[in-house]
Amino acid sequence: MRIGITGHRGLPDHVEGRVRLALAEAVKGCRPSDLVGVSCIADGPDAWFAQTVLDHGGRLEVVVPAEAYRDGLPDWHHEVYDHLFHRASDIHRTGLAESDAQAHMVGSELLVGLVDEVFAVWDGQPARGYGGTADVVAYARRTGVPVRVLWPEGATRG
Protein backbone atom coordinates (compact mmCIF):
# COMPACT_ATOMS: atom_id res chain seq x y z
CA MET A 1 0.00 0.00 0.00
CA ARG A 2 1.52 3.31 -1.11
CA ILE A 3 0.16 6.24 0.91
CA GLY A 4 0.93 9.92 0.44
CA ILE A 5 0.44 12.78 2.87
CA THR A 6 -0.73 16.35 2.64
CA GLY A 7 -1.60 18.60 5.52
CA HIS A 8 -1.62 21.97 7.17
CA ARG A 9 1.63 23.26 8.59
CA GLY A 10 1.82 25.37 11.72
CA LEU A 11 -0.86 23.54 13.68
CA PRO A 12 -1.22 24.42 17.38
CA ASP A 13 0.48 22.07 19.85
CA HIS A 14 -2.83 20.79 21.23
CA VAL A 15 -3.86 19.73 17.70
CA GLU A 16 -0.49 18.15 16.92
CA GLY A 17 -0.90 15.36 19.48
CA ARG A 18 -4.35 14.47 18.17
CA VAL A 19 -3.12 14.46 14.56
CA ARG A 20 -0.15 12.25 15.45
CA LEU A 21 -2.53 9.77 17.09
CA ALA A 22 -4.80 9.81 14.03
CA LEU A 23 -1.83 9.13 11.74
CA ALA A 24 -0.63 6.25 13.93
CA GLU A 25 -4.13 4.77 13.99
CA ALA A 26 -4.45 5.12 10.22
CA VAL A 27 -1.23 3.20 9.47
CA LYS A 28 -1.83 0.57 12.16
CA GLY A 29 -4.01 -1.42 9.78
CA CYS A 30 -1.25 -1.67 7.16
CA ARG A 31 1.19 -4.57 7.07
CA PRO A 32 4.65 -3.05 7.61
CA SER A 33 6.16 -5.05 4.76
CA ASP A 34 3.55 -3.61 2.35
CA LEU A 35 3.56 0.00 3.60
CA VAL A 36 5.31 2.74 1.65
CA GLY A 37 4.79 6.31 2.84
CA VAL A 38 5.43 9.12 0.38
CA SER A 39 6.04 12.58 1.79
CA CYS A 40 7.65 15.95 1.07
CA ILE A 41 8.72 15.83 4.76
CA ALA A 42 7.89 19.47 5.52
CA ASP A 43 7.38 20.45 9.14
CA GLY A 44 4.07 19.26 10.54
CA PRO A 45 1.94 16.41 9.19
CA ASP A 46 4.39 15.53 6.39
CA ALA A 47 7.20 14.79 8.84
CA TRP A 48 4.89 13.27 11.49
CA PHE A 49 3.49 10.84 8.91
CA ALA A 50 6.96 9.95 7.60
CA GLN A 51 8.18 9.13 11.12
CA THR A 52 4.98 7.18 11.84
CA VAL A 53 5.53 5.04 8.73
CA LEU A 54 9.13 4.32 9.71
CA ASP A 55 8.15 3.55 13.32
CA HIS A 56 5.55 1.09 12.01
CA GLY A 57 8.24 -0.69 9.96
CA GLY A 58 7.25 0.69 6.56
CA ARG A 59 9.43 2.32 3.93
CA LEU A 60 9.64 6.05 3.24
CA GLU A 61 9.96 7.73 -0.15
CA VAL A 62 10.58 11.48 -0.30
CA VAL A 63 9.40 13.99 -2.89
CA VAL A 64 11.59 17.09 -3.25
CA PRO A 65 9.49 19.86 -4.85
CA ALA A 66 12.51 22.07 -5.63
CA GLU A 67 16.26 22.14 -5.13
CA ALA A 68 15.85 25.10 -2.71
CA TYR A 69 12.97 23.40 -0.84
CA ARG A 70 14.86 22.52 2.37
CA ASP A 71 16.18 26.08 2.66
CA GLY A 72 12.61 27.39 2.62
CA LEU A 73 11.59 25.27 5.60
CA PRO A 74 12.03 26.61 9.16
CA ASP A 75 15.59 26.33 10.46
CA TRP A 76 14.38 24.38 13.50
CA HIS A 77 13.03 21.66 11.17
CA HIS A 78 16.25 21.07 9.18
CA GLU A 79 17.55 18.38 11.56
CA VAL A 80 14.28 16.42 11.32
CA TYR A 81 14.17 16.91 7.54
CA ASP A 82 17.74 15.66 7.14
CA HIS A 83 17.12 12.63 9.37
CA LEU A 84 14.01 11.60 7.40
CA PHE A 85 15.64 12.36 4.05
CA HIS A 86 18.52 10.02 4.86
CA ARG A 87 16.11 7.26 5.92
CA ALA A 88 14.27 7.38 2.58
CA SER A 89 14.48 4.35 0.33
CA ASP A 90 13.87 6.52 -2.75
CA ILE A 91 13.95 10.23 -3.60
CA HIS A 92 11.71 11.76 -6.28
CA ARG A 93 12.60 15.23 -7.61
CA THR A 94 10.56 17.63 -9.73
CA GLY A 95 13.67 19.15 -11.26
CA LEU A 96 12.52 22.67 -10.33
CA ALA A 97 14.96 25.08 -8.68
CA GLU A 98 12.91 27.69 -6.80
CA SER A 99 10.84 26.63 -3.81
CA ASP A 100 7.63 28.53 -4.49
CA ALA A 101 3.91 27.76 -4.55
CA GLN A 102 4.13 26.43 -8.11
CA ALA A 103 6.93 24.01 -7.18
CA HIS A 104 5.04 22.88 -4.08
CA MET A 105 1.98 22.05 -6.18
CA VAL A 106 4.09 20.24 -8.79
CA GLY A 107 5.67 18.25 -5.95
CA SER A 108 2.25 17.39 -4.58
CA GLU A 109 1.05 16.31 -8.03
CA LEU A 110 4.10 14.07 -8.33
CA LEU A 111 3.34 12.63 -4.88
CA VAL A 112 -0.30 11.95 -5.79
CA GLY A 113 0.85 10.14 -8.93
CA LEU A 114 3.01 7.79 -6.86
CA VAL A 115 0.38 6.60 -4.36
CA ASP A 116 -2.74 4.47 -3.98
CA GLU A 117 -4.27 6.78 -1.35
CA VAL A 118 -3.65 10.21 0.16
CA PHE A 119 -4.01 10.99 3.85
CA ALA A 120 -5.07 14.62 4.25
CA VAL A 121 -4.68 16.45 7.53
CA TRP A 122 -7.22 18.98 6.35
CA ASP A 123 -9.85 21.11 8.05
CA GLY A 124 -12.07 21.10 4.96
CA GLN A 125 -11.50 24.78 4.26
CA PRO A 126 -10.17 26.32 1.01
CA ALA A 127 -6.42 26.64 0.60
CA ARG A 128 -4.90 29.82 2.04
CA GLY A 129 -2.54 29.98 -0.93
CA TYR A 130 -1.96 28.14 -4.20
CA GLY A 131 -0.74 24.61 -3.62
CA GLY A 132 -2.26 24.33 -0.16
CA THR A 133 -3.85 21.22 1.29
CA ALA A 134 -7.26 21.85 -0.28
CA ASP A 135 -5.65 22.13 -3.73
CA VAL A 136 -3.84 18.83 -3.23
CA VAL A 137 -7.05 17.12 -2.08
CA ALA A 138 -8.91 18.47 -5.12
CA TYR A 139 -6.15 17.29 -7.46
CA ALA A 140 -6.12 13.80 -5.93
CA ARG A 141 -9.88 13.52 -6.24
CA ARG A 142 -9.82 14.78 -9.85
CA THR A 143 -7.27 12.12 -10.75
CA GLY A 144 -9.15 9.32 -8.99
CA VAL A 145 -6.80 8.84 -6.04
CA PRO A 146 -8.78 8.17 -2.84
CA VAL A 147 -8.37 10.72 -0.04
CA ARG A 148 -8.77 9.91 3.65
CA VAL A 149 -9.26 13.08 5.70
CA LEU A 150 -7.69 12.87 9.16
CA TRP A 151 -8.90 15.91 11.06
CA PRO A 152 -9.64 15.76 14.79
CA GLU A 153 -13.21 16.69 15.62
CA GLY A 154 -13.45 20.23 16.96
CA ALA A 155 -9.84 21.09 16.06
CA THR A 156 -8.90 24.44 14.54
CA ARG A 157 -5.83 25.57 12.66
CA GLY A 158 -5.33 28.56 14.90
pLDDT for res 158: 76
Please provide residue 28's backbone torsions phi and psi, each rounded to the nearest 5 degrees.
Answer: -55, -35
Among candidates 16, 66, 68, 88, which has minimal Cα distance to 45? 16
pLDDT for res 26: 97
Overall residue count recorded for the chain in this entry:
158
Please measure the distance between the N-terminal and C-terminal CA atoms of the chain and give it in whole angstroms. 33
Helices (H), the chain: 13-28, 45-56, 69-72, 78-87, 101-114, 133-142
Residues 54-95: tens digit of each pLDDT = 999 999 999 999 999 999 999 999 999 999 999 999 999 999
pTM, two decimals, is 0.97
CB 20 within 8 A of CB 49: no
pLDDT for res 53: 98
Measured from the Cβ of residue 9, the count of other Cβ atoms closer than 10 Å reads 17
